[in-house]
Structure 1
Amino acid sequence: MDEVKAACQATSEIAVSDGYLRIAAATPKIRVGDVAGNAAAILECVDAAVRAGARVLALPELCLTGYTCGDLFHDRALLRAAESALSGLLEDTSDTPLLFTVGLPVAHRENVYNCVAACCAGRLLGLTVKRHLPNYGEFYEQRWFAPAPMNGAGFIPFAGQDPVPLMGGIVYTCSDPGLEDVRIGVEVCEDLWVPNPPSVDMALSGGATVILNASASSEVLGKSAYRRSLVSGQSARLYCAYAYANAGEGESTTDLVFSGENLIAENGSIVASTSLFSREMAVADVDLEKLTAERRRSNTWRAGEWCMGHLQTIDFSFAETGEDAPAAGESIADAPNQPAVLPAEDTELLLNSALDVLRPAPRTPFVPADPTQRAASCEEILDLQAAGLKTRLAHTGTHSAVIGLSGGLDSTLALLVTVRAFDMLGLPRTGVHAVSMPGFGTTGRTKSNAERLAEQLGVDFRTIAIGGAVRAHFADIGHDPSVTDVTYENAQARERTQVLMDLSNELGGFVIGTGDLSELALGWATYNADHMSMYGVNAGVPKTLVRHLVSHAADSLGGETAAILRDILDTPVSPELLPPTGDGEIAQCTEELVGPYELHDFFLFHMMRYGFAPGKIYRMACRAFAEPGVDGAPAYEPATILFWLRTFYRRFFAQQFKRSCLPDGPKVGSVSVSPRGDWRMPSDASAALWLEEIDSLTA
C-alpha cells in the first residue's frame, strides 16, 4: 500500500485532502467520585485518539464524575472538583488539535445541569445541556438535574475561561480554510431516544454534519441491538456522521451494568463499533463530502416549521489555544495575538486523503460484498426488472416479446428477466422469441450458447443471418466490405435492430432492450441500433452487477441451464462485429477497447451518486484496487487507473446525446442515467474542466 500511495502522490503537485474526518468514541476507565483520577483517564483517551489520528473525540455522559454519583451531584465539593478538573484538562490539551467532549455536572444559580463540555486546543467552546431527563425505570435524573432551558441560560464563565453558552443546542463550526463542512453538534444520551431529538435541529438548522452523543446507557439483554438501530437510523435521517460514546467500567454496579459500547455511524451504516465490555476505542474516517452531497441532492432536506430553532453557533479553530481564546461576543479574528485560522497549507493535516482512510471504498460499489446479502439483492433486482416489464406487457396487452439473443451476458440477463415476467403474468414462454442474428463476427461458442439456453428455458428460438442484408447495404452506400471500420460495425448493429423491430411488428409484440447501465454511461452502443428498444430491462444494471445476476440465476436454476450460463459468464465481453480469429475465437474484446468495467463502474458510482471530483475518485480507486480482489480480480496500477479515468470522463460527456433519448426501463439501484429521472445533462456540455483536473494528476 505504501508503494501505491507514493505512486499516487507522485501524480499530484500538492498535498490534498478528500474531506475525510477521522472521529473517535472512547470510554475511560473511571471511579465514581474520583474526579482527579477520572480526568487522568480522560487525558489518556485524548492521547490515544491523537495517536490514532482522530480530530474529534466523543466521551461518555458525566464521565468526569461518574454517571452513578446519585445524590452526590448536589454536593458542592464534587461540583467544584469537576470544574477545576475541566480547567486542568483544557490546560493540558492547549496544543492538541482535537475537539473532544467531557461530561460533567454544572451548577448555575439554583440549578444543576447535566452537561457536555466541548473542548479544543485549550479552549472551552461551550456547555451543551441535556434536554430530556429520563425519570422512569432505573433512571432518576430529574431528582438531581434541571433540563436545558428552552432559550438557554445565556453565557457563563466556567473553568477559568471567558463566558461560554450554557444551553441545549450548540453547533460548533470550524473556521479553518477548507473545513467548512466540519460542523459538530452534541446531544446527551436520552436526547437520542425521544421522538424529536435535538440533533434534528442541529443538522437541519445548524448544518451539523457530525453529531456526538455522550451517553450513559445501562446494559440489559437486547438493548445493544436497539441502540445500534437508533444510532444508524439517526445518521441516515440526518445524512450525518454519528459518534456514540457510552459509559462503561468503573460506573457503580449497585443496580446497573454499563458496557462501554462505542459506535460510529455514517449515513445509515455502522462504520466502527466496539465489543461490549471491551474498553476499546471506535475510530472511523467519515466522508463529509459524501454527507454534504446527499443533503444537496435531497430537496426535502430543509429546515421547516417543526424545527425548534433555539441554536447557538460557535466558531472554533484547531489552531486556537486557551490563553488566547476570544472573550464572549468577540470574534476569533479580533482576539489578541490569536491567528483566526490555521494556514491553508496546514489544513490537509486535519482532513484525510482517500489514500489514508481506515476504511477504503469497496471495489464493486454496486455489488454487496456479503454473499448472503448479495444473493438476496440479486433476487430482488431480478424481481424489480421483471415487475417493470410485466406492467408494460400488461398495459399494452402484448403477449409477445422479441429479444436479440447473442449468447453474451446482457442478452442472457434480458432473456432471464423476460421469462420471469411471462411467468408472473401466466403467459406461455413460447411467446418469448429469442433471435440469433449471426453476422461477420459471430462465433460458434456464442451462437451455440444462445440456442441451447433458449431450448432450456422453453422459449421460441429462430436464426436470421444478417450477412446478406448487410452486404447489400454496403453495396447501396458504396462501402468496401474489406474495410472493417465503424461503418462496417454499425451497419451490422443497425441491421439487427431493424430485424427485431420488424419481427416484433410481424408477431404483434415489442422489442426488449438488452443494453446495461455501464454501456449507456460509456456510450458503448450504436445509436439507433442496440441503443434503441421498446423497453430496456437492463438500463439500471451496471456490468459488474450483470455478472452476479447471471451467476445467481445459474445457482438457482441448476442443471444444464446452469452449465450454459457459466460458460456465458466465462465468455469474453464482445459485440462480435469484427471477424473471428483464425481459430474461430472472439477477436473483439470490449474491455480492451473501453477499459475494465470494474473500474468504470467504480468511477460511475462515485461520480453520479455523490458528485465527487475526478481527483478524489482517482485516489479512492488507487486505494480500492491496490490489491487483487477476493474473487481473483486484478489489482491496477495508479497509471492504469488514471488512463481509464480519463477515458471514462471523455466518453461520458461525449456520449450524453445517446442517453438523452433512451427508451423506458426500470431503475433498480441508486444510480440511473434515465433522462426522465436521475440524470439531466445537456448533450453539448464541455468536459474540459474535468479532463483538466485529471491531466493535472499526471506526473
Structure 2
Amino acid sequence: MDINNHGFIRVAAASPKVRVADCDYNVYEMKSVIGDAVAEGVQVLCLPELGITGYTCGDLFLQTALQNKAIDSLFELVAFLKDKPSLIVIAGMPLACRGALYNVAVVLSAEGILGVVPKRYIPNNREFYEKRWFISGDLLRDTAVEIGDDLYPVASASTIFQTPFGCFGVEICEDLWRPIPPSLQLSVEGAHIIFNLSASNELVGKNAYRRSLVSQQSARCCGGYVYASNGCGESTTDTVFSGACFIAENGSMLAESNRFSFENEMIIADIDVSMLEHERMVDNNFTIPARGAEDIYACIDRVSVEKMYRSVEPHPFIPSSETADENLGDVFRIQSHGLAKRLKHIGTDKAVIGISGGLDSTLALLVAVNTFDLLKIPRTGICGITMPGFGTTGRTYSNALSLMRSLGVTVKEISIVESITQHFKDIGHDIDDQSVTYENAQARERMQILMDYANKIGGIVVGTGNLSELALGWTTYNGDHMSMYGVNSGVPKTLVATLVRWIADTQMEDAVKPVLQDVLDTPFSPELLPPGKDGLIGQRTESVVGPYELHDFFLYRMLRFGDSPSRICLFAQMAFHETYSFEEIRKWLRIFYRRFFAQQFKRSCLPDAPKVGSVSLSPRTDWRMPSDAAADLWLDELERVEPFTV
C-alpha cells in the first residue's frame, strides 16, 4: 500500500544507545536505527539533540578533536544514506562557525546534507548551562555554513523543508519550552510537521508535563510534532536521561517510547498530512505567505507498506472511558441549557414531546426533565404524548408509558389509527398499500397532534430527531423532521445510546433505570409498518439504511476532516475489519452518499437546535450545501476504490 497516495507520511523518533564523546559508537548505533527505519518504510527520522557526540560532553565540546570527529561522523552518516532514497534523517551535533560553537540539527538524505538548523534558545539555569559552550542560532547571520570543504544552507527562523508528501520544520529542545517557540512561526509558514531534537533529563513528574507540552504544541500548530530525546547512555554525573520520545498530531498522542531502556528505542507513526491541511483550510488562520528562496527542497521516494502505524477509532463520537463523565455530562448540560434558554425566552413552563418508547424520544424526555429541574419548574409541565399507530408494538408502548410515569411527567395517549384510516379515505390511499405514503402519513399526523396540543397549552414541541437521521434523511419531511426546538439534532445515533446509558447510571432515580435499560435493548425502528406475526418489531432501521456505527463513522470522516471516498474506505477498513467486509463497507458508504446528497433539502430548513460536538449539520453553523448538488463525483471515486489489506 502506498500511504503517500492517501495523504500520509511515515515519521519516526528514535533514541539510539549512546556513549559520551564516542562518535564512532554513536554513529554505529544510529546506523542500526536507520536500517530499522528503512525496513519499516519510515520517511523522516528524528534523532536526539547532539546525538553524534552525546549531550553531556561538557567542556569537551570546546575541544577541536571532538568537533572535527563529529564532522567526520556526520559524513559517515551521509555516505550511509546514499542508497536510501526514501529516508530523511535529522541528526544533532556541535558545529563551529566563525569562532563560535552552535548546537545544530543537520538534515540529511540520499542527496547529502540538505540544511543546518541552529538551536535558538540556549538554556542556562538549574542543571542546564549550555551558554558555557554554545551561542544562539539567532546570532548566526550566514545563509550558509562550511562543513568539510562545502557550504550548506543555514535554516532561518522561517525555513521550511519541503518534501513531495508534506513540509516540515525543525527546532531543538529548549526551543519548545519558550513562550513563543520557533515551531509556531514554522507552522504558520507552512510546516505540517515539527521535528524536535531534544535532550531532556528526568525529574519526578517531568514526563507528564513534557508529554502534555508536546501534545499541546501539536494542537497549537495544527500539525504533527515528533520529539526525540537522549537516552540512558548519557553521563549520570548530575542528571539521568531516559530516551523519552513522542509523536503527536493535532493534540492527540500517536506514539510514545519506553523510557529508561538500555536498548535502541524507536517509535513510528503515520502523520495524516491531508487531514492537517483540511483542518488549516477550515481554520483560515493558517494562510501561508508567499514562500521565499529560503525554503529547502528534499526529494524522498514513496514507500509501500504492509501495515499502518496508526489506530482508527471506530466510534469517534463516543468519548473514551477517561473522559466519559466530563464529555457526556457536557452534552447533557448543553442540551438542557439550550432548552432552558428557549423556555425562558418564550416565557413558557410547558413542553410537549412525542414519546415512542424508542431511544431518541427517551433522550429528549430526559433532557426536558433535567431542564425543568434546573429551572425549578414542576415536571408535570412536560406533556409526554404517546401515539400508537399501525406499527406500535407492546414493548415500546409499555416502555413509553412506564418511562413517563416513572419520571413524573404528564401522560397523554392519543391513538392515530382512526385518524389515519380516515385520512387514507380522504386522499384515496389503499390502507393495504404500505408504501412511503402509508409511513409518512403517520409521522405527519403525530407531528400535527404535537404542534396543535402545544398551541393548546401554550408550550413548545421538543424535537427528538438525531444527527445521524439528519445525515441520512431518515426523517419524514414536516413530520418528525419538524419541531419548535430540537434538543437531539447535534447528537449522532451511536452517542444517543451511550448518553442514555450514562444518564441512567448517574442522573436518574432507581425507578427509572429498568425502563431505560429495556429501551436501550430495543432495536432501532420508526415502527411505521405493522409488527411481525410474533408481535415483535417488523421494521428495523439498520436493515434498510445500514448500520448506524458505519454511517456515524462516514459522517465524522466526511465532515470533520473532509475525507474523500477512498480515504473513508481506508479508515473504515482499519476500524471495522473484524466486523464488516470491504464490500459491505462500500455498499453502505454508497447508500450514505446517495442519501446524504438527496436529503439536503430537509437540513436546509432545520428547526433551532444546539450544537454539542465538532460535527453539526445545521445550516446556520457548520454545513451549507445546495439541495440539488450532484453526488456523482463521490460515487464515481467510490467505485474505483480498491480494498486495503489490514
Fold shared, TM-score > 0.5 on shorter chain: yes
Q: Of residues 79, 102, 112 in structure 2, which corresponds to 1:123?
A: 112
Alignment counterpart, residue 223 of structure 1, candidates 201, 206, 215:
206
Tell me the residue number matched to 2:177: 193
Alignment of 1:20-169 (within 5 A): 20-96=8-84, 97-149=86-138, 152-159=141-148, 161-165=150-154, 167-169=156-158
Indicate the residue corresponding to 1:652 in structure 2: 596
Structure 2 counterpart of 1:658, which letter?
K
> Contact 2:369–2:379 (CA<8 Å) still a contact in 1?
yes
Aligned to 2:382: 432
Q: Name the structure 1 match of 2:398.
A: 448
CA distance in 2: counterparts of 1:465 and 1:592, whole angstroms: 27
- After superposition, the C-alpha distances for 1:114-160 in whole angstroms (9 at most, x for unaligned) are 10001112511111000000111111111111111367421123245
Distance 1:72-1:422 versus aligned 2 partners, 3 A rule: same
Q: Which amino acid aligns with 2:209?
A: Y
Matches within 5 A, 1:459-538: 459-538=409-488
User: What is the count of residue pairs matched by the alignment?
Assistant: 639
State the match for 2:299 in structure 1: 317
**2:569 aligned partner:** 618
DSSP 3-state at the match of 2:57: helix
The more displaced of 184-193 and 51-60 is: 51-60
Structure 1 match to 2:523: 572
Q: 1:358 Cα deviation (Å)?
A: 2.2
The aligned residue for residue 5 of structure 1 is none
- The answer as to whether partners of 2:157 and 2:186 remain within 8 angstroms in 1 is no
The amino acid across from 1:186 in the alignment is V
Contact 1:248 1:261 survives alignment (8 Å) = yes
1:383: Cα distance to partner? 1.1
1:358 aligns with 2:334: no
Q: TM-score, normalised by structure 2?
A: 0.96
Give percent identity, aligned residues only.
50
Query: Are residues 45 and 232 of structure 1, via their aligned partners in 2, closer, same or farther at CA, if it must alter by over 3 Å?
Result: same
CA distance in 1, matches of 2:421, 2:287: 61
Using the alignment, how far apart are the partners of 1:15 and 1:117 within structure 2?
Answer: 26
Q: Counterpart of 1:114 in 2: which secondary structure?
A: strand
Residue matched to 1:17: 5
1:388 to 319, 335, 338: 338
Alpha-carbon distance, 1:302 to partner: 3.8
Equivalent position to 1:379, from 320, 329, 334: 329
CA displacement 1:411-440 (0-9 Å, x = unmatched):
000000010011110100000110001111
Q: Say which is worse superposed, 554-563 or 612-621, in terms of deviation.
A: 554-563
Q: Cα RMSD (Å) of the superposition? A: 1.9
Q: 1:296 aligns with which of 281, 304, 308?
A: 281
Structure 1 Cα separation of the partners of residues 480 and 87 of structure 2: 56
1:659-674 map, 5 Å: 659-674=603-618
CA contact (8 A) 1:152 1:168 kept: no
SS of 1:232's equivalent in the other structure is helix
Per the alignment, in what secondary structure is the counterpart of residue 17 of structure 1? helix
The question of 1:273 aligning with 2:224 is answered no
Q: What SS is found at the alignment partner of 1:371? A: coil
More deviation, 658-667/158-167: 158-167
1:40 shift after superposition: 1.0
Counterpart-to-counterpart distance in 1, 2:78 and 2:150:
10
Tell me, in whole angstroms, the C-alpha distance in 1 between the residues paired with 2:276 and 2:58. Answer: 40
Partner of 2:268: 283
Contact 2:401 2:411 in 1 (8 A): yes
Distance 2:341 2:126 in 1: 53
What is the DSSP-based 3-state SS (H/G/I as helix, E as strand, rest coil) of the residue aligned with 2:295? strand
CA distance in 1, matches of 2:628, 2:502: 39
TM-score normalised by length of structure 1: 0.89
Query: In the alignment, is the contact (CA less than 8 A) between 2:97 and 2:146 conserved in 1?
Result: no
State the distance in 2 between where 1:159 and 1:547 align.
Answer: 66
Q: CA deviation at 1:378?
A: 1.7
Alignment gaps of 5+ in structure 1: 1-8, 320-346, 628-634
Match of 1:170 among 159, 177, 182: 159
Partner Cα distance (1:19, 1:421) in 2: 45
* Shift in CA distance, 640/195, structure 1 to aligned 2, threshold 3 Å: same
Partner SS state of residue 127, structure 1: strand
Which of 592, 607, 610 does residue 543 from structure 2 map onto? 592
Task: Check 1:315–1:15 CA distance in 2 against 1; reply closer, same or farther (3 A cut).
Answer: closer
Contact kept, 8 Å, 1:129 with 1:168, in 2: the verdict is no
C-alpha deviation, 1:165, in angstroms: 2.2
Consecutive unaligned residues of structure 2, counting only runs of 5 or more, are: none
How far 1:161 moved relative to its partner? 4.7
1:539 aligns with 2:489: yes
Conserved? CA contact 1:169–1:186, under 8 Å = no
